[in-house]
């Protein structure tokens, strides 16, 4: 099991979609919102994903396929 923080950046097209809820239902990961700033047309969320590394990779790719930008949180490297 791994705990990985990621930063999700939403556009106005994706901001109203329940993507974190859908990800938790679709993949075998536990989601935990650590920080967020969500406004009418844009938003970002620091999301902690807890699960097997393969599942975390799948959910990260799925977020990108949904049109959400995925990055390591500021001040943290991806490796």
Could you give all domains of the chain from N- to C-terminal order, each with its CATH number? 2-71 (3.30.70.260)
pTM equals 0.88
State the pairing for strand pair 69-71/43-51.
unpaired
Model pLDDT, residue 48? 97
Closest-CA residue to 7 (of 41, 40, 34, 39)? 34
Strand extents, DSSP E, 1-79: 2-10, 29-38, 43-51, 69-71
What digits encode the pLDDT tens for the residues 18-42? 999 999 999 999 999 999 999 888 8
d(C-alpha 14, C-alpha 68), whole Å? 7
> Residue 63: exposed, middle, or buried by beta-carbon count in 10 A (0-12, 13-18, 19+)?
buried
């Amino acid at each position: 099991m791994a705990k990985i923080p990621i930063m999700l950046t939403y556009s106005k097209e994706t901001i109203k979609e329940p993507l974190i809820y859908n990800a938790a239902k679709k993949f075998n990961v536990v989601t935990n919102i650590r920080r967020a700033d969500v406004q009418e047309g844009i938003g970002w969320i620091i999301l902690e994903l807890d699960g097997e590394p393969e599942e975390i990779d799948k959910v990260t790719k799925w977020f990108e396929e949904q049109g959400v930008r995925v990055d390591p949180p500021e001040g943290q490297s991806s490796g």
